[in-house]
Amino acid sequence: MSSPTPSSGGPRSDVGRWGGNPWQPPTTPSPEPEPEPDRRSRRGGRSFWARCCGCCSCRNAEDDDWGPERRGDRGGRGSGSRSRRPDSRGSDSRRPGSRGSAVNAAGDGTIREGMLVVTGMDLLSSRSDQNRREHHTDEFEYDELILRRGQPFHMVLFLSRPYESSDHVTLELCIGNNPEVGKGTHVIIPVGKGGSGGWKAQVTKSSGQNLNLRVHTSPNAIIGKFQFTVRTRCKAGEFQLPFDPRNEIYILFNPWCPEDIVYVDHEDWRQEYVLNESGRIYYGTEAQIGERTWNYGQFDHGVLDACLYILDRRGMPYGGRRDPVSVSRVISAMVNSLDDNGVLIGNWSGDYSRGTNPSAWVGSVEILLSYLRTGNSVPFGQCWVFAGVTTTVLRCLGLATRTVTNFNSAHDTDTSLTMDIYFDENMKPLEHLNHDSVWNFHVWNDCWMKRPDLPSGFDGWQVVDATPQETSSGIFCCGPCSVQSIKNGLVYMKYDTPFIFAEVNSDKVYWQRQDDGSFKIVYVEEKAIGSLIITKAIGSNMREDITHTYKHPEGSEAERKAVETAAAHGSKPNVYATRDSTEDVAMQVEAQDAVMGQDLTVCVVLTNRGSSPRTVKLHLYLSVTFYTGVTGSVFKESKKEVVLAPGASERVTMPVAYKEYRAQLVDQGAMLLNVSGHVKENGQVLAKQHTFRLRTPDLSLTLLGAAVVGQECEVQIVFKNPLPVTLTNVVFRLEGSGLQRPKILNVGDIGGNETVTLRQTFVPVRPGPRQLIASLDSPQLSQVHGVIQVDVAPAGGGGAFSDIRGSGRSRETIPMASRGGA
């Protein structure tokens, strides 16, 4: 991966995001910019596909289904330019069944006596029918047939006369504007004769004028929305059923099919990583892990169309849509807005006045439906939002996907595969050289698939990261990258292994400038990066530590070999040869439970492990920091000299009052403690960076009454302001798949230490255990969430589902009278 050059207004102008760009209080909004309209032309005319995915970069000159996005196509889905979009379904004389009336072989529409006319069909597509249940698609809030490839489905044809053995019936599926058999975009399935590539259809029952069929789809089928039609031929002539939009069929990847390369051989994995509509996303620091519930909502009405629109919007070749490697790589590029006007605009500046604070989102549904509805990138996202949306999209398309958090995640900008921190002769950081940064946490995705494009041994979990950090082949995308290649330091494996390896398993190297201007390694932290990698556990809301899947045990021979092997392929292959230090004084920073709005204390413990006394000159510097590692100026410091007897330990503390840090706070309420020291007797250099966060309160949600499909239910939300200052322009968000479409509640101001109580009604539309999620956001306080499980009973009449259609979200202003007292 490569890094663009910092420039004013360019991708690296976002102060809260990039290392080497110190934070200053913003005076004007500075969100991540949209790319210039002519950005692609400056790359020498190479297409997105030639740069992003080599296997998709070849096409015929006449195949215009997937060219670069036209400027006129950026409007909403209702714009007049819609017919030019790749997902357009306009009239095409070459498309079978596109005419408005039945046809015979002569094409004059005459129905002759004895012809086998198809008067209609039943795809058994309702959510309660056999097909949807067997294909595990019954939760989709759609009436159309939704299938998983490589698995048979049932259907019924209604005929003008009884079916005879001499009759010929052919099923046809088409996708794209120029369907061709050779590309797999036009599928022809002769009934009873066995098709090609795994497509086939057999008669299971012929009763009167009804013909029951069992249709097998290919485990290598293109995923997407197909038009479906039927042809018949007999002695009296040929008939073609006109295309009916009600007979469109969605085909998805199938982790239940052993022949599909996305197959997962664990039912509990499939339930969690494909079918679970909510999950936990972790943030904070390794010592202070925060967690929030995220509504993935992959089965909500409109979300599947939004996921396919993402592929259409970039113009992904339909032939490439059968390959999960290509699809996941495209999604990693399209979920962020850089290069391709994708789903989310990143913003790490701290100013979100022109959009939504990333901490305020509670799920993916509102974001994806907005993108589908308007065609415009949605402001704003940060890593956990990009990852949450990516999980939604990949699960919706049928890929087993989980959201992963890596604590102390490195951002290597010079491909050295080490995190390099530079200091002057007095161990003061040289910020103009410190372009590498260590994020307190970073969130990405694992998705499960085979890798036929790699040597054996690299199937299984693959990293996909949609957060725009560095470019890959000139595009802001990352992955898929085999977790096995990361674990073993095989940084030459595609895609983007060097960058991801450095995120989880590089060393933090401290360099001190010498008198002659050269730099010398004075300290190496071997366990500082990728210290903990976690995801939500299967079947529960507990955390699962998956660090062992990414790296060998810290300090083991295998782990050291992986790091040094990877570093040998980096830009500083001999970095470890210059290491020279004597260490007998150990330093540890103790994590304290710090609460937003209260005083706190930081503590450093020094231990003399040697046999002689040691004198340590210690410097403590405290500053605020974005979770990306970008820091503000130091607002408090302390200098002490400590004498340690052999084997002795001593605690050094620094109290910090609320009034000292109140005006300094930025996103996530995080602070960075820089500790440096010098041992007088032997010249040992001590260096440590410790990040901690200020804990924010939770929202308390209480269900008032039973929840039943189709019946109004009420929830109560209680919040107490932990700060002695007024929260202004407070906004609540409420969302839950099967419960509540995204809803925005404008509350106004909440006074210092005041408690507010809100009551909201919702109407469940699907039964079973559901998650109702809420968040609060204001300029003074963010990262406030709450969740409650709602067990929804089926409707009394036996109907499992209730209809849910309408706008993507609602907005409401809460009157002051609904507020609780302080």
Query: DSSP string covering 307-343, please?
Result: HHHHHHHHT--GGGGG-HHHHHHHHHHHSB-TTT--S
Provide the annotated binding site for Ca(2+): 505, 507, 554, 559
**Res. 302: pLDDT tops 60:** yes
Query: From the candidates 383, 447, 481, 713, which is the catalytic residue?
Result: 383
Number of CB atoms found within 10 A of residue 726's CB: 15
Averaged over 48-67, what is the pLDDT? 40
Q: What is the fold of 585-695?
A: Immunoglobulin-like (2.60.40)
- 583 with 684: CB under 8 angstroms? yes
- 756 with 774: CB under 8 angstroms? no
Task: Print the SS3 string covering 754-806.
Answer: CEEEEEEEECCCCCEEEEEEEEEECCCCCCEEEEEEEEEECCCCCCCCCCCCC
Query: From the candidates 465, 496, 667, 777, which is the catalytic residue?
Result: 465
Residue with the bigger pLDDT between 719 and 434: it is 719
Distance CA 437, CA 511 (A): 14
pLDDT of residue 735: 95
pLDDT of residue 617: 92
Distance CA 619, CA 377 (A): 45
Averaged over 431-443, what is the pLDDT? 81
Which phi and psi angles does 366 have, rounded to 5°?
A: -60, -40
Averaged over 227-251, what is the pLDDT? 94
Residue partners of 412: CB distance under 8 A and separation at least 6: 418, 419, 436, 498, 499, 502, 503, 506
Averaged over 186-194, what is the pLDDT? 90
Instruction: Identify the architecture of domain 118-252 in CATH.
Output: Sandwich (2.60)
Averaged over 754-758, what is the pLDDT? 95
Distance CA 807, CA 466 (A): 27
Number of CB atoms found within 10 A of residue 796's CB: 10
Using CB atoms within 10 Å of the CB of residue 113, give its burial: 0 to 12 exposed, 13 to 18 middle, 19+ buried.
exposed
Percent of the chain at pLDDT exceeding 90: 55
Averaged over 162-177, what is the pLDDT? 95
Ranges of CATH 2.60.40.10 domains, the chain: 118-252, 585-695, 700-792
Distance CA 594, CA 673 (A): 14
pLDDT of residue 109: 64
791, amino acid identity: D
Return the minimum-mean-pLDDT range out of 185-199, 450-464, 743-757. Answer: 185-199
Q: Determine the 3-state secondary structure of 537 from DSSP.
A: coil
pLDDT of residue 813: 54
Number of CB atoms found within 10 A of residue 89's CB: 19
465 is catalytic: yes
**Res. 578: pLDDT tops 70:** no
Sheet strands side by side (includes 600-608): 585-590, 600-608, 649-656
Ranges of CATH 3.90.260.10 domains, the chain: 267-568
pLDDT of residue 76: 38
**16: confidence class by pLDDT, cuts 50, 70, 90:** low
**Res. 692: pLDDT tops 80:** yes
CA dihedral 445, 176, 131, 195 (to 10 degrees): -110
Task: Print the SS3 string covering 652-689.
Answer: EEEEECHHHHHHHCCHHHEEEEEEEEEECCCCCEEEEE
pLDDT of residue 55: 45
Q: Determine the 3-state secondary structure of 20 from DSSP.
A: coil
Averaged over 52-64, what is the pLDDT? 41
Q: What is the fold of 700-792?
A: Immunoglobulin-like (2.60.40)
**Res. 28: pLDDT tops 80:** no
**107: confidence class by pLDDT, cuts 50, 70, 90:** low
**Res. 442: pLDDT tops 90:** yes
Q: The pTM is what?
A: 0.83
CATH number of 267-568: 3.90.260.10
**38: confidence class by pLDDT, cuts 50, 70, 90:** very low
pLDDT of residue 306: 98
Using CB atoms within 10 Å of the CB of residue 374, give its burial: 0 to 12 exposed, 13 to 18 middle, 19+ buried.
middle
Both tokens of residue 434?
């410190």
pLDDT of residue 357: 95
Which phi and psi angles does 394 have, rounded to 5°?
A: -70, -40
Averaged over 250-278, what is the pLDDT? 98
**Res. 546: pLDDT tops 60:** yes
522, amino acid identity: V
**582: confidence class by pLDDT, cuts 50, 70, 90:** low
Averaged over 108-113, what is the pLDDT? 76
pLDDT of residue 711: 95
119 CA to centre of own chain = 45
CA dihedral 155, 160, 163, 164 (to 10 degrees): -160
Best CA proximity match to 451, nearest among 618, 306, 262 = 262
pLDDT of residue 84: 35
639 DSSP β-pair partners: 619
**565: confidence class by pLDDT, cuts 50, 70, 90:** low
Averaged over 310-333, what is the pLDDT? 95
CA distances from 185 to 222, 225, 227, 319, 326 (A): 7, 11, 10, 7, 17
Q: Please give the DSSP secondary-structure letter assigned to residue 497.
A: H
604, amino acid identity: V
Look-up of token digits 């995308």: 477
